[in-house]
Amino acid sequence: MDGNQVSMNDVAKACGVSKNTVSLALRDSPSISPKTKSKILKAAKNLGYEKNMTFSKFMSEIKKHGANKYRETIALINANKNPNAFKEHPTIPCYVEGIRKAAKREGFAINEFWLYDKDLNGRKLARIMKQRGIRGGVITGLMDTNLLPQRYKEVWSSFKFVITGVRTYNPTLNFTIADHFLIAYKATLKALEYGYDRPALVLERRIDDLIEGRFTGGFLRAQLQMPKENRIEPFFDVKEANEDIEVFKKWFKKNKPNAIICLYNSVEKWVDDMGLKVPQDLGLIQLERRTHQGKWAGMNQRNDIAGEAAIERLSQILYSPNTDFNINITASLISPEWVESETILNRNKTSKKKSR
């Protein structure tokens, strides 16, 4: 194969990993294990992969002058309605941590902006960015919608941006995001692996709609490995159940799940009110397991890695010879990690002990 024709996608396919993993490995990111990194570097060499020389030159300059010498300033946009979301939100700080870590590694200084600042609009933000020599940036914090404020249309069309956390459509930007399909799929398979034969998904419908049904898709795909009589339809009436627990109790009594896969902690309170013991009577698995929730078993979405990937993609766009950066829109999906803890037990092991 001609070296000029080999892309990161070719290397990714040869190694069975994502394009983002290849990108991180080629830049010697500490987030990639030595074993995976070695495999990718060997495949890249064998395939004749050649880096983008403009970008490689930029990275060489960073290494020559030191990481503390910023080569360029980028914008970090807080798209959440809370101006302090970078510190106070339960999820967003993880993205920001990864963004800042990767920005330092890539030699970027960061200027922060809040989209809901009353004194800020598209024209003013564009002017500030031009004055400061900012060519692009990363957007994070968009949690309740995938629509960016229209008053900033001038900014999105004039500068180079990557968004992390959700996919947008006005405009469609390059994005990095947790692989929600795989998160739900693996969580369901873990429940089955641990002997819970009737796992159920409890999720607010608007959240699933925001990510185009990928949580539901992963759950339903995993259900194909279950007998039809054990397949339970997802429970979407979370808002109603928070106002009246009888809504949840009625669904629970009808479907009789023995494990619940959920996003929020409210489910724990519901089952406690019903007198059920976790994990003896019911296993609980969280779709977004956060570090401060020590007792919860579930999926670490690795949102910090999604933040890092956003910076990696932005670097590619900023230093690519292709000036029309909105043509080749790409998505980087971050694989989750299973975290075992107190809200689930291995029923198969328990059954073996009892049979002895």
Domain ranges of the chain: 3-47, 53-178+301-336, 180-299+340-355
Average pLDDT along the chain: 87
The model's pLDDT over 74-121, given as tens digits with 9 standing for 90+, comes to 999 999 999 999 999 989 999 999 999 999 999 999 999 999 999 999
Q: State the Cα–Cα distance between residues 238 and 198, nearest whole angstrom.
A: 19
Q: Are residues 143 and 165 in contact, defined by beta-carbon separation less than 8 angstroms?
A: yes
Helices 19-26 and 303-318 cross at an angle (nearest 10°) of 70
Q: State the Cα–Cα distance between residues 223 and 215, nearest whole angstrom.
A: 13
Cα 95 to its chain centre, rounded Å, is 8
pLDDT at 222 over 80: yes
Backbone angles phi, psi at 80, to 5 degrees: -90, 150
**What sign results for the dihedral spanned by CA atoms 332, 333, 334, 335?**
negative
Higher pLDDT residue, 7 or 134?
Answer: 134
pLDDT at 57 over 70: no
pLDDT at 53 over 90: no
Mean pLDDT of 313-319: 90
CA-based radius of gyration for the chain: 23
Distances (CA, A) of 137 to 20, 91, 183, 222, 266: 18, 20, 27, 37, 35
Q: Are residues 8 and 328 in contact, defined by beta-carbon separation less than 8 angstroms?
A: no
Helices 8-15 and 19-26 cross at an angle (nearest 10°) of 100
Number of separate helices (H) and strands (E) present in the chain: 16, 11
pLDDT at 355 over 70: no
Omega into 321 within 30° of 0, i.e. cis? no
The CATH label, of 3.40.50.2300, 3.40.50.10860, 3.40.50.720, 1.10.490.10, for the domain at 180-299+340-355 is 3.40.50.2300
Q: What is the pTM of this model?
A: 0.79
Which CATH homologous superfamily contains domain 3-47? lambda repressor-like DNA-binding domains (1.10.260.40)
Helices 19-26 and 34-47 cross at an angle (nearest 10°) of 90
Let me know if the fold of 53-178+301-336 is the same as that of 180-299+340-355. Answer: yes
Q: State the Cα–Cα distance between residues 321 and 130, nearest whole angstrom.
A: 20
Cα 338 to its chain centre, rounded Å, is 14
User: Residue 79 is which amino acid?
Assistant: A
Polymer length of the chain: 356
pLDDT at 242 over 50: yes
Q: State the Cα–Cα distance between residues 337 and 266, nearest whole angstrom.
A: 23
Q: Would you state the structure tokens that stand for residue 100, as one six-digit string? A: 């800042």
CATH of domain 53-178+301-336: 3.40.50.2300
pLDDT at 193 over 70: yes
pLDDT at 322 over 70: no
